[in-house]
Amino acid sequence: MSRKYWFLILLTPFLVAVDQGSKTVVENSFSYAARMDVIPGLLNLVYVQNKGMAFGMLNELPKVWRLPLFLGISVLAIVIIGHLFRQTPARAALMPAALALILSGAIGNLLDRFRWGYVVDFIQVHFRQHYWPTFNVADSAITVGIALLVLDTLFTKEPPAAAPAETPAAPEPGANPETHPPNPP
């Protein structure tokens, strides 16, 4: 088995377990919107139920449409990640790690939708009165995975493509084949 599959086998289940474990602790330990300062002025834990997508987009979508839409998006993402993973060279390291991170985040948030009907978000980063939207471990994995994907795309050099084989040149029109023999192959 090539080394790229170890990222998938080890990293993805580990991150899904950490994500689901942290969300279960928050779900069972916090009341809705409860807040705990971890690093005052910088980091809080806040229990939020995100019924929409990233940053609460489509939060107002009727419940009957939410699960099928988000399920479809998640399945499509997982299929694309699987395809990209298979296309990744066996010796690659950054791309498989990035794809495993994105996959673990997609699975983690999808499991939330099946378990609770919403995604549990609880990490709130802020500086003074400037707040970043609340997120979770799965969101962090997706973000880091996308950043690694961008780095891989920008800095991984592909080997140069093989030059096409040269074809013998055709004799010039009107040239005498006896005085101008064709170029050897």
Active site members: 121, 139
| Contact (Cβ atoms closer than 8 angstroms) between residue 31 and residue 116 | no
Q: How many C-beta neighbours within 10 Å does residue 184 have?
A: 5
Q: Give Cα separations from 78 to 74, 101, 127, 140 (angstroms).
A: 6, 12, 34, 17
Q: Which tokens is 58 given?
A: 């489509």
Element (H, E) at 107: helix 94-115
CA-to-CA distance for 137 and 123, rounded, in angstroms? 8
Q: Which of 49, 57, 35, 53 is nearest to 131 (CA)?
A: 35
Helix (H, G, I), strand (E, B) or coil at 1: coil
